[in-house]
C-alpha cells in the first residue's frame, strides 16, 4: 500500500503537509527506510548541538527526538485501536505539555536513540501485522477521521519535517 492509495477522507487536512513529506514509498518499506535515515541523521548530529535552542522557548534537539518518540507512540496507539475496531474517540494531545515534562536534556543521546529504535521497531512490527482491511478502517482522533494507513504516512512525514527543521535551524 502506498501513499497514492490514501484518501483525503482518511485524515484531518492539518496532516496534509506531513503526508506530502512522507515520500511515495510503500507503507511498510517507508517506515523502515525512514527510520534508518532518521537514525543515521540523528546520530550524526554533533554533541554540542544536542541541547542547543535556536531561540528562547524552542525545543532542543534532544527534546525534538523525545517529541518524535512520543508522537509516534500516541499515533500508533490510535492506529492499533482503530485497526482493532475500537470505537473510542481518541483525544488530541498537547505536545508542549509532553515536552515540558519529558526531561530529554538529562538523558544521554544513547538512551534517546535506543528508545527511538525500539519504538520504530514496534511500529514496523505493528503495521506488518495489519491486513489491508485493518489499514483502511476509519476511526476518530482529535475529532477527525483517521485511518491506520494515514498514521504511517503522518508519522514518517512528521519525522521528516522535524529533521528538516533541525538541518535548517540547529546545524
Alpha-carbon distance 51 to 129, whole Å? 37
Interhelix angle 27-43/109-128, rounded to 10 degrees, is 170
User: What is the overall mean pLDDT for the chain?
Assistant: 96
Query: Binning pLDDT at 50, 70 and 90, where does residue 2 land?
Result: confident
pLDDT > 90? residue 104: yes
pLDDT > 80? residue 24: no
Phi-psi region of 131 (alpha: psi -120 to 50; beta: other; left: phi over 0): beta
Mean pLDDT across the stretch 119-130? Answer: 98
By the 8 A CB rule, do 159 and 31 touch? no
Query: Binning pLDDT at 50, 70 and 90, where does residue 25 land?
Result: confident
Query: Binning pLDDT at 50, 70 and 90, where does residue 66 land?
Result: very high
**Looking at residue 23, what is its pLDDT?**
79
The residue ranges of every structural domain in the chain are 10-169
Give the right CATH number for 10-169 from 1.20.120.450, 3.40.50.2300, 3.40.50.300, 3.30.470.20. 1.20.120.450
Amino acid at each position: 500500500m502506498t501513499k497514492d492509495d490514501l484518501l483525503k477522507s482518511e485524515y484531518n487536512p492539518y496532516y496534509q503537509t506531513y503526508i506530502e513529506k512522507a515520500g511515495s514509498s510503500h507503507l511498510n518499506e517507508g517506515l523502515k527506510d525512514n527510520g534508518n535515515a532518521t537514525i543515521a541523521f540523528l546520530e550524526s548530529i554533533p554533541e554540542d548541538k544536542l541541547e542547543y535552542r535556536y531561540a528562547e522557548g524552542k525545543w532542543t534537539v534532544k527534546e525534538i527526538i523525545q517529541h518524535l518518540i512520543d508522537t509516534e507512540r500516541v499515533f500508533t496507539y490510535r492506529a492499533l485501536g482503530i485497526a482493532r475496531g475500537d470505537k473510542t474517540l481518541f483525544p488530541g494531545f498537547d505536545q508542549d505539555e509532553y515536552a515540558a515534562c519529558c526531561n530529554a536534556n538529562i538523558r544521554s543521546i544513547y538512551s534517546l536513540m535506543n528508545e527511538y529504535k525500539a519504538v520504530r521497531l514496534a511500529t514496523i512490527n505493528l503495521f506488518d501485522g495489519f491486513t489491508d482491511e485493518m489499514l483502511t478502517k476509519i476511526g476518530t482522533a482529535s475529532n477527525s477521521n483517521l485511518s491506520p494507513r494515514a498514521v504511517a504516512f503522518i508519522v514518517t512525514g512528521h519525522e521528516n519535517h522535524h529533521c528538516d527543521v533541525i538541518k535548517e535551524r540547529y546545524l
